[in-house]
Structure 1
Amino acid sequence: MTQLQDFGFGTQIRKSPYFDATVRWGAQGFSVYNHMHIPRDFGDPVQNFWNLVNDAILCDVAVERQVEVTGPDAAKFVQMLTPRNLSNMAVGQCKYVLITNAHGGILNDPILLRLGENHFWLSLADSDILLWAQGVAVHSGLDVTITEPDVSPLQLQGPKSGEVMRALFGDSIMDLRYYWLREVELDGIPLIVSRTGWSSELGYELYLRDGSRGDSLWERIMAAGLPLGLKPGHTSTIRRIEGGMLSYHADADINTNPYELGLDRLVDLEMDTDFIGKFALQRIRDNGVERKQVGLRLGGAPLDGPNTTFWTISHNGNCVGKVTSAIYSPRLDQNIALAMVSAECCELGLELEVMTQSGAVAATVVERPFYDPKKSLAASALAQTV
């Protein structure tokens, strides 16, 4: 059995409430995300992918730290942070949002949860939005309190995740809609459950509200799920690239704007409310962008793992962009990638050249997402589980 002390980045990198459980269940490697350990290796990543798309996996994603915004002006403050129009967001609803700075650059792409009229969580990607939000609040003139609560999410993802949820919570959980949340308890463990996740498959996130119960929650879910095919796992790079899902710091960063990513739907420049970056985004929209994200199909031998550096993209001998995320998809039997290229090189079918760590390979611009573009699997009415 792997010893717990084999993994360590120092005391400044926190361990999640599920850390010991993940090691017991086979975690073999960790990386750092939001200043915390995150399991990245449960053995074969290809088998992890098949476990996800055929059955279900349980992932420790406590690194998705929550920024909690409360107070009389909470709704107004949260709208200030994002260009997405939140005026129709109901209590109990979740939304995928972007957080932008004054230049229109993306600081994070969290899931926003509305727990109450004046109670919000931002479930973060990998950047320090707690500090940003607290800094914005200082001179905002708004009456808000911004904290990091004792909340640690798990992801239960895959086509059999609904069956596992039914085993845990009964039939009543089956009517939880895509991108909605519910407050529940499991054996006295306080949770928020949402129909969300980072897999493009049917899935749920279970937000533990008492870190002392992490081990108990993990074991309870695995005990209920094992007879249904549930396996411990980690977020799948293969599946998230197939689904065209962004990884912050790779596919987007502070120098990337929503229009470059084709995320215009998350920007409402016509709403009366001001938000940080509104004027910059108006200029970007009016002037157009110089680069855009595209999907690529790469030639060459199957990649034996994701890229660990940005790969240069050339057209007619000129550098026109970079590959941000690349992987071999065993389901599609091809190398696929997300890339940022100059705006004149976005035409579908355009032939490019990519310099990988193994040398130059041919690449073709293709549609993205690469699989299930309408996210019918994630948004399904659970027909496959009832």
Structure 2
Amino acid sequence: MAHELDFAEFSFGTQVRKSPYSDAALRWGAKGFSVYNHMYIPRDFGCSTTNFWNLVNEAILCDVSVERQVEIKGPDAAKFTQMLTCRDLSKCQVGQCKYVILTDQDGGIINDPILLKLAEDRFWLSIADSDVLLWARGVALNSGMDVEISEPDVSPLQLQGPKSREVLRAAFGDAPTDLKYYWFMEYDWDGVPLIISRTGWSSELGYEIFLCDGSAGDRLWEHIMAAGGPLGLKPGHTSSIRRIEAGMLSYHADMNLANNPYELNMDRLVNLDMEADFIGKAALTRIKEQGVSQRLVGLEIEGDPFVGSNDYFWPVMKDGAQVGTVTSAIYSPRLDKNIALGLLGVEHSGIGTELKVDKLGETRGAIIVPIPFHDPKKSIAVAS
């Protein structure tokens, strides 16, 4: 284990937690960390473009322990979990995952987790960057339902890329490689409990390995890297390039509590006709009837390649007036284009609309294009 002084240059103190893999990531070349869900996440292994090509051509292993699990269990767990989300869970089976939206009483988005159904009376929400544990416990307090809500000792890794199945087989045998897209299995790794799912934040073929015993984190990381190294596996971090190419949204960047699913083109995740009630159902019914004032779009932006991602919400202009903002922007070396996601007034959100982007005082031309920017049918992740 790395000495605590090795991590000192990244540390903000004890209020931000290290993950079970932080020391391993540091040993394997992590040069920078960010904070997500009150926890450190590796964000720099030297070159984001190299990390991108490693992901799309080979495989990378990422510490995503920051995707904390909110566990909901008890006799009323299914009913309570459905109350939190606008997506119909009535046909969700044990062993299945679902991408869901959690909404508040006004239809605002609290989080967009991956749901895992471990049993008829036990669920995990693998969350994005907001305090779902507190929200769920607050809702439960006066719900009258018999549920227990906690954060279990669970720390996921992401194994992503076209060679991820080969790496998984080398590390854990054949069984996990048969998983269908958005399904998971329990796995005993020499007495250490794991859950392995065919999911991930990359839109590539990939898996998530949920460690259910944090004390084994260092050993698990080294085991996977040893098994995968001869197959081309590299340590890495979640790729902003790939997730923007795929049109995948990042909480606090592309959406927050002020946004609703309809303006983010997430209509398919809202089931107003289901019999079950959920928080925000009345509000979302009104929003659907009245329509939205803004909409998420894809943008191609002219000019020299961006260096890194945007740290500010750049204004989007039309005829000298601001009509929206760029939420996430990056240069894609595969597409050889500057690509971005943005929220624009609906009257300016049509495909082909020409606009201007104010990039910190530099004006650049832009045009609205369809999203995703690459592999629009998700054939890589789904059909591989």
Q: Which runs of 5+ in 2 are unaligned?
A: none
Please list the CA deviations of residues 50-82 of structure 1 after superposition, one character each: whole Å capped at 9, or x if unmatched: 000000000000000000000000000000000
Q: Are the equivalent residues in 1 in contact too, given 2:23–2:218 (CA < 8 A)?
A: yes
Are 1:350 and 2:353 matched, yes or no? yes
SS of 1:260's equivalent in the other structure is helix
Find the counterpart in structure 1 of residue 50 from structure 2: 47
Using the alignment, how far apart are the partners of 2:212 and 2:6 within structure 1? 28
- Among 214, 217, 234, the alignment partner of 1:214 is 217
In the TM superposition, residue 317 of structure 1 has moved relative to its aligned partner by 1.1
Using the alignment, how far apart are the partners of 2:360 and 2:159 within structure 1? 34
Q: CA RMSD in A?
A: 1.0
SS of 2:379's equivalent in the other structure is coil
Find the counterpart in structure 2 of residue 134 from structure 1: 137
Using the alignment, how far apart are the partners of 2:301 and 2:22 within structure 1? 36
Find the counterpart in structure 1 of residue 288 from structure 2: 285
Find the counterpart in structure 1 of residue 119 from structure 2: 116
Find the counterpart in structure 2 of residue 37 from structure 1: 40
1:21 is matched by which residue type in structure 2? A
Find the counterpart in structure 2 of residue 249 from structure 1: 252
Q: Are the equivalent residues in 2 in contact too, given 1:168–1:186 (CA < 8 A)?
A: no
Q: Counterparts of 1:169-208 in structure 2 under 5 Å?
A: 169-208=172-211
Find the counterpart in structure 2 of residue 231 from structure 1: 234
SS of 1:63's equivalent in the other structure is coil
Find the counterpart in structure 2 of residue 14 from structure 1: 17
1:340 is matched by which residue type in structure 2? L
Using the alignment, how far apart are the partners of 1:225 and 1:15 within structure 2? 24
Are 1:337 and 2:340 matched, yes or no? yes
- Among 92, 96, 102, the alignment partner of 2:95 is 92
Using the alignment, how far apart are the partners of 1:196 and 1:357 within structure 2? 36
In the TM superposition, residue 336 of structure 1 has moved relative to its aligned partner by 0.1
SS of 2:263's equivalent in the other structure is coil
In the TM superposition, residue 188 of structure 1 has moved relative to its aligned partner by 2.4
In the TM superposition, residue 358 of structure 1 has moved relative to its aligned partner by 5.7
Using the alignment, how far apart are the partners of 1:276 and 1:13 within structure 2? 31
SS of 1:280's equivalent in the other structure is helix
SS of 2:255's equivalent in the other structure is coil
Using the alignment, how far apart are the partners of 1:89 and 1:271 within structure 2? 14
SS of 2:380's equivalent in the other structure is coil
Using the alignment, how far apart are the partners of 2:317 and 2:349 within structure 1? 13
Using the alignment, how far apart are the partners of 1:355 and 1:93 within structure 2? 43
Are 1:326 and 2:322 matched, yes or no? no
Q: Are the equivalent residues in 2 in contact too, given 1:65–1:151 (CA < 8 A)?
A: yes
Using the alignment, how far apart are the partners of 1:37 and 1:128 within structure 2? 16
1:288 is matched by which residue type in structure 2? G
SS of 1:327's equivalent in the other structure is strand
Give the total of aligned pairs.
381
Q: Are the equivalent residues in 1 in contact too, given 2:176–2:196 (CA < 8 A)?
A: no
Q: Are the equivalent residues in 2 in contact too, given 1:92–1:180 (CA < 8 A)?
A: yes
SS of 1:113's equivalent in the other structure is strand
In the TM superposition, residue 9 of structure 1 has moved relative to its aligned partner by 1.0
Please list the CA deviations of residues 111-143 of structure 1 after superposition, one character each: whole Å capped at 9, or x if unmatched: 000011101000000000000000000010100
In the TM superposition, residue 346 of structure 1 has moved relative to its aligned partner by 1.2
Using the alignment, how far apart are the partners of 2:260 and 2:179 within structure 1? 33
In the TM superposition, residue 319 of structure 1 has moved relative to its aligned partner by 0.7
Using the alignment, how far apart are the partners of 1:152 and 1:357 within structure 2? 38
Using the alignment, how far apart are the partners of 1:14 and 1:174 within structure 2? 32
In the TM superposition, residue 271 of structure 1 has moved relative to its aligned partner by 0.7
Using the alignment, how far apart are the partners of 1:79 and 1:290 within structure 2? 28
Q: Are the equivalent residues in 2 in contact too, given 1:189–1:217 (CA < 8 A)?
A: no
Using the alignment, how far apart are the partners of 1:187 and 1:370 within structure 2? 42
Using the alignment, how far apart are the partners of 1:328 and 1:142 within structure 2? 48
Are 1:101 and 2:101 matched, yes or no? no
Using the alignment, how far apart are the partners of 1:56 and 1:129 within structure 2? 31
1:78 is matched by which residue type in structure 2? T
Using the alignment, how far apart are the partners of 2:61 and 2:179 within structure 1? 19
Give the TM-score of the pair, scaled to structure 2.
Answer: 0.98
In the TM superposition, residue 272 of structure 1 has moved relative to its aligned partner by 1.1
Find the counterpart in structure 1 of residue 162 from structure 2: 159
Using the alignment, how far apart are the partners of 1:62 and 1:96 within structure 2? 18
Q: Counterparts of 1:59-74 in structure 2 under 5 Å?
A: 59-74=62-77
SS of 2:382's equivalent in the other structure is coil
Find the counterpart in structure 2 of residue 58 from structure 1: 61
In the TM superposition, residue 169 of structure 1 has moved relative to its aligned partner by 1.9
In the TM superposition, residue 5 of structure 1 has moved relative to its aligned partner by 2.1
Q: Are the equivalent residues in 2 in contact too, given 1:298–1:362 (CA < 8 A)?
A: yes
Q: Which ranges of 4 or more aligned residues in structure 1 deviate by more than 3 Å?
A: none
Using the alignment, how far apart are the partners of 2:286 and 2:10 within structure 1? 47
